[in-house]
Amino acid sequence: MGTAGVIDEDGPVLGVIGGGQLGRMLAEAAAPLGVQVVVADPTPDCPAAAVAREQVVGDFEDRGTMAAVALAADVLTYEIELVDPDALLAVAEEAGLPVHPSPEALRITQDKLVEKRFLETAGVPVADFRAVDDAADLEAAFDALGAPLMLKARRGGYDGRGNAPAGSVEEARAAFGDLSGLVAEAFVGFDRELSVIGVRGDGEVATFPAAENRHEAEILRETIAPARADDAVLARAESTARTVLDGLDGRGTFGIELFEVDGEVLVNELAPRPHNSGHYTIEGAVTSQFAQHVRAVLGWPLGSTALRGPAVTANVLGDGPSRRAGLRGAEAVLRTPGASLHWYGKREVRDLRKMGHVTCVPVADEGRDELLATARRLVAALSFS
């Protein structure tokens, strides 16, 4: 889009490193804006391939793969944190393309110790933490922070992998084996888990209202928007999220996970990309987190973050052994007013893999608790063949 606000017949091309469900939903949001998407992913016919213009098959950290995407793109972004930020920056500079959010934001958020120190330096409240590289470090963390501790792998952990509570060195070894490259956090007795989806545009910052999340086995199960928290807590969550955004570089959508503790908020983790807890914005907000990301990385004006009303999203998770993906029970979702099914198009189902989600919005005067009950009922009726 030029200074006159014109989109030509070809439209800009957004290069996305990563072609999972986030890449798929980015491409879906880009299409109405006249934006084409090229994705890179190591899995042939990845979820995003069905809606993107093109897929480059290759590893997330491979410079040749990134360069192939850059050749076809006007701007680069990413939807997964397994990307090598140095390689991404080098490819972008060689191609003369902008990359958003910045590789520096990726460098901060893909290492949990670096992320915690960044937040601490920014004056953002976080749980007490210690770096752990051996048994002596862990013993010192127990002495300083108490037991149990939440242990996290500094790099590579997501969807429940790389996180485990431990009350002793032996429990930690059973969960992680080698005790190097960990972060130990004081266990937080939170009242609820929250998240704020924030957006940095070209001179603009916007936040969606804080949502409430429920995790089980470290995997997000449900999101309720807006959160069922006091107005003061919601305002504090938004203010904290804006402080975080002020310290991150580059444009795009960011997921900011928080804990509510006795009316205060602590930041848990960050993601420099659209976030699972923001999926409700597709049906529940004026502008979805994905459309915001497309607008932001291209330097276009942001859309409204206002909610259309309450919304509840429940994840559809795989169960049982690995097998070909086939969904049963979708008819009930399709027949339910206000319910929307999002199927990610993954070819293989396996235990606890995110296969899709269901979002429920009101069609009359249903409140959040009623929407949550409906979403739970619909997801419980789904099964895999």
* Paired strand residues for 328: 383
Q: Say if residue 55 is in the same domain as residue 91.
A: yes
Q: Do residues 24 and 345 touch, judged by C-beta distance below 8 A? A: yes
Preceding peptide of 44 cis, ω within 30° = no
Q: Say if residue 244 is in the same domain as residue 378.
A: yes
Query: Could you tell me which of 156, 372, 124 has the C-alpha nearest to residue 256?
Result: 124
Q: Say if residue 217 is in the same domain as residue 339.
A: yes
Distance (Å, whole) CA 274 – CA 101: 11
Lowest mean pLDDT among 3-17, 192-206, 218-232: 3-17
Q: Say if residue 291 is in the same domain as residue 255.
A: yes
Q: Above 60 in pLDDT, residue 89?
A: yes
Instruction: Name the domain boundary from 58, 81, 99.
Output: 99
Q: Say if residue 41 is in the same domain as residue 150.
A: no
CATH code of the domain containing 248: 3.30.470.20
* Model confidence pLDDT, tens digit, residues 358-372: 999 999 999 999 999
Instruction: Name the domain boundary from 53, 84, 99.
Output: 99
* Inside any domain, residue 355: yes
Taking residues 291-297, report their average pLDDT.
Answer: 98
CATH code of the domain containing 144: 3.30.1490.20
Three-state secondary structure call for residue 103: helix
Average pLDDT, the chain: 95
Spatial strand order of the sheet with 36-41 comes to 54-57, 36-41, 13-17, 75-78
Taking residues 96-116, report their average pLDDT.
Answer: 96
User: Helix axis angle, 135-145 relative to 169-176, nearest 10°?
Assistant: 130
* Inside any domain, residue 5: no
* Inside any domain, residue 115: no
Q: Say if residue 213 is in the same domain as residue 312.
A: yes
* Inside any domain, residue 104: no
Half-sphere exposure of 322 (CA within 13 A, CB side): 3
Q: Say if residue 354 is in the same domain as residue 309.
A: yes
Report the number of distinct structural domains present in the chain: 3
* Inside any domain, residue 113: no
Query: Distance of CA 317 to CAs 49, 151, 257, 312, 350, Å?
Result: 21, 24, 21, 16, 8
Instruction: Name the domain boundary from 186, 211, 235.
Output: 186
* Inside any domain, residue 4: no
Q: Say if residue 144 is in the same domain as residue 73.
A: no
Burial class (CB in 10 A: 0-12, 13-18, 19+), 243: middle
Distance (Å, whole) CA 31 – CA 52: 9
pLDDT at 2: 40
Range of the domain at 41: 13-99
Q: Say if residue 70 is in the same domain as residue 154.
A: no
Q: Say if residue 301 is in the same domain as residue 355.
A: yes
With a pLDDT cut of 70, the percent of the chain lying above it is: 97
* Inside any domain, residue 7: no
Q: Say if residue 182 is in the same domain as residue 207.
A: no
Q: Say if residue 350 is in the same domain as residue 305.
A: yes
Q: Answer yes or no: pTM beyond 0.85.
A: yes
Q: Above 80 in pLDDT, residue 9?
A: no
Three-state secondary structure call for residue 26: helix
Phi-psi category of residue 112: left, alpha or beta, with phi > 0 → left and psi -120 to 50 → alpha: alpha
CATH code of the domain containing 70: 3.40.50.20
Look-up of token digits 């016919």 = 45
* Inside any domain, residue 105: no
Confidence at 4, pLDDT banded by 50, 70, 90: very low
* Paired strand residues for 358: 314, 341
